[in-house]
Structure 1
């Protein structure tokens, strides 16, 4: 059905996509540290977050409002100890681009890796099979670089709700994202990894001013959900 829609709507989708790229509001990545230690006391966890502009916190003023640092703070409270954290994220990254970023970065040792990727794989029309294959390569790469024992992959957001996109482009990208999201969830389950769905973030009024990225109200909820997954699966990543 989606392939038929792509052929039928192709000229409209192409025109709308070009218009969005030309007129979209460009927001900067927020200031603030991209690595550090949250909490005090005995070290409990080393955390690496790899991702795109949403992981970087585009649309916010400071990393303290974004995902990586708040997640580390919540985990430090949950685990009653220190959490070392590092953020590797850039605007525009797809999953293959994330591999390149990891490859050229000074990556610290980690116990758990969190990935926030997929939206740019949708906009570049990466097939679900290719998307999963690139995600598997990224997991192999970061595991080898960091010694990580476990990962949580974040699913794709409900792109049909992104107000920056006109219809029918918004509908089409939403359906395409759903296919990649389902494939990613299946792969994570097969690999014994965590999966954090983003389909709870279904209120367009909570988006950033660009109508594309999460707004400030969504990040604390996202951090809490990730913390629940990571703290709840401690047996999978904690050293024996």
Structure 2
């Protein structure tokens, strides 16, 4: 109750800070480069990366330096990776659902979902978040023929240098809340795995906008994902 009262009292200030940050923060583009392809040698691994601006690689200068490029590079040492990236700046979980509703059937082995930051910013409530998670998982399972689903946890938004206090406190608290809900909710599904965002968020690990990952962060993230994917493939 105390937290909600404090937040209510700060609402006008938080809104003003949000508008200021939006005007002040440089808008980095999504990097150029392929968003699908086949690479590597060995058993075929069909992979989809679905999500928001971080999935799209904002903060990197090319897709090779972004999450998709670095992940495919690692996996292609052991697998023939047939991969697709479907991601866009600003996407919320509702946007991903809308994409999947129109997506044709495409059997895959692995799908990686990166979503939540824009839901924090836009104020998605817990109940709505849980309902949309269920629908997203249902659509991914049906459209992609029951792949293993990896959900990346939300980043520590309270460490984003682009955000001033108390906005970073508020968004950080909401991010931790939705992240905890994500982790708990996914435990109901045997084919879903939660991967916490245990990455360093020192200045060098943030892009120039102080908001998105840098190539170094994408590398750490890709390595963590690749480790879990290989484990899961070997267990099947």
Q: TM-score band, normalised by the shorter chain? A: over 0.9
Q: Residue in 2 aligned with 1:33? A: 34
Structure-2 separation of matches of 1:166 and 1:180? 21
1:235: how far off? 5.4
Q: Residue in 1 aligned with 2:167? A: 169
Matched-pair contact (CA < 8 Å) for 2:106–2:145: no
Report the more deviating stretch, 214-223 or 136-145.
Answer: 136-145
Q: Residue in 2 aligned with 1:128? A: 126
Aligned residues: 234
Q: Residue in 2 aligned with 1:52? A: 52
- 2:215 match: secondary structure: coil
CA 1:102–1:148: 2 relative to 1, 3 Å: same
Q: Which runs of 5+ in 1 are unaligned?
A: none
Q: Residue in 1 aligned with 2:113? A: 115
Q: Deviations over 1:35-70 (max 9, x none)?
A: 111202432x11111000000001222111111122
**TM-score after normalising by structure 2:** 0.93
Q: Where in structure 2 are the equivalents of 1:134-145 lying within 5 Å?
A: 134-145=132-143
Matched-pair contact (CA < 8 Å) for 1:51–1:89: yes
Structure-2 separation of matches of 1:188 and 1:235? 21
**TM-score after normalising by structure 1:** 0.91
Q: Which runs of 5+ in 2 are unaligned?
A: none
Q: Where in structure 2 are the equivalents of 1:85-234 lying within 5 Å?
A: 85-105=83-103, 108-192=106-190, 193-234=192-233
Supply the RMSD in Å over aligned alpha carbons.
1.7
Structure-2 separation of matches of 1:196 and 1:8? 35
Q: Residue in 2 aligned with 1:42? A: 43
- 2:50 match: secondary structure: strand
CA 1:178–1:140: 2 relative to 1, 3 Å: same
Report the more deviating stretch, 123-132 or 113-122.
Answer: 123-132
1:173: how far off? 0.3
